[in-house]
Amino acid sequence: MPFFFDLTSLIPKIERNPFEPVIVRDAVPEVNLETDEEIPAEPIIDTGLPIPSHYDFDMMRAMVQDPFRLYVYWQLRENPFEKLKKIFPANSINTFKMVIKLVDESNNIAVINNAPYSREYWFSVFPDRTYRVEIGLRSEFYGYIKLLSTQPVTTRAEGRRTRLTKSRNIGLPPMII
């Protein structure tokens, strides 16, 4: 005959309806309202100065992402069209457009595109060449006026070349007979 244990004494007895939600009463902290101390509403967090929308200098940088991509960003201190008003007749200002010029210094080739308002641009380029980027104003009547230029940057050759790969002996070991 099997031997059974009676485990009902280990199960706690339920003294409430199991279908009612459980309500836990929060303990209310005692606050002494008669004190003269002022408690700050929230901690003070120093976030520093706000980040400016632009800086007070002209800047243009080019960065190579990989052998096929070139990233350029720039910032102009002043609106260049305001300076054009001082130099050219008022009716000819509308003929100027902001352009960005990619100069391939390896092959002496230049490509001109309309400059975006975002002050940054991605170029598709070729590997193992030196590039320089300019931003300027272009008019069909007055030509091209250069405003800013980047430093020359060189895209690396396609694939990785290291000293290790040249000296590494890849092959089967000599057979010993």
- Residue-wise pLDDT for 111-140, tens only, equals 999 988 888 999 999 999 999 999 999 999
Q: Which has more pLDDT, 52 or 15? A: 52
How many CB atoms are located within 10 Å of the residue 126 CB?
13
Confidence of residue 44 (pLDDT cuts 50, 70, 90): confident
Domains and CATH numbers, the chain: 59-154 (2.60.40.10)
* pLDDT score at 166: 53
> Residues of the chain with pLDDT > 90: what percent?
46
Per-residue DSSP letter, 130: E
Band of pLDDT at residue 72, cut at 50, 70 and 90: very high
What is the average pLDDT across 2-22?
A: 66
pLDDT at 5: 62
pTM of the prediction? 0.60
- What pLDDT band is residue 16 in, cutting at 50, 70 and 90? low
Give dist(CA 169, CA 90) in Å, integer. Answer: 70
Q: Which residues of 99-115 are buried (b: 16+ CB within 10 A; e: fewer)?
A: bbbbbeeeeeeeeeeeb
Burial (0-12, 13-18, 19+ Cβ within 10 Å), 90? exposed
CA max distance for the chain: 115
pLDDT score at 2? 57
Query: Which is higher by pLDDT, 27 or 2?
Result: 27
Question: What integer best gives the mean pLDDT of the chain?
Answer: 82
Winning range, highest mean pLDDT, from 42-51, 84-93, 154-163: 84-93
